[in-house]
Amino acid sequence: MQQPVVVEVLFAPKALWQRALLAVSGSLLIALMAQVSIPLSFTPVPITGQTFGVLLIGALYGSRQGALSVGLYLIEGALGLPVFAGGAKGINRLLGPTGGYLLGFIAAAWVVGWLCEHGWDRRVSTAALAMGIGNTVIYLFGLPWLACFIEPKKVLVAGLIPFIPGDLIKLMLAATALPAGWKLIRHIQGLNLGYKAIKRG
């Protein structure tokens, strides 16, 4: 059964302008996280905070709104805004070695959002699994694309193995933050209900 995600509980966006504002805000968060970028000498793929931003937006926004935000982020970069890793920009970034990862962001946000719409963000174990699945989706897009630019036998070394430790850290951060956020939301809702009951009394 589908459940509301965080933004639906906190903001209940219904109007088109509200959803548009959420999409812009989500794209800006991803762009900000992308500026946390560490280039590696042996691969065209940098270590960045992008994946954390993408998976977090998917979890907070849900499947459709999350994918929309990521799609807007990619459009912003393609049109020349310096939103990609390290301030990079332009359509060539989407067509280059890291283009598969970028396109995979849309699918990953949708998958994580769908899982969170089905309650996976309420517990640490399932939240971690959702984030892990989202990361896997990104690699399923990124690695085959990267293999078109470098020797296929080097793809895992250049596009996967160096990023696993950081992915695990980001995964656990998100997996613990999401259930904690839901506990806080329920606490606030309980306080509000108590206040209303006292006021009526």
pTM of structure? 0.91
Can you read off the two tokens belonging to residue 159? 């596009």
Domain annotation covers residue 1: no
Which residues of 36-97 form beta strands (DSSP E)? 37-38, 47-48
56 burial (CB, 10 Å; 0-12 / 13-18 / 19+) is buried
Domain annotation covers residue 77: yes
- pLDDT mean for each 10 residues of the chain (201 residues): 88 90 96 93 92 94 96 97 95 96 98 96 92 96 96 94 92 87 81 48 49
Quote the radius of gyration of the chain (alpha carbons, Å).
Answer: 18
Asked whether the beta carbons of 10 and 184 are under 8 A apart, the reply is no
Domain annotation covers residue 86: yes
Q: What is the pLDDT of residue 200?
A: 52
Look up the domain containing 10 and give its range. Answer: 6-200
Q: What is the pLDDT of residue 194?
A: 47
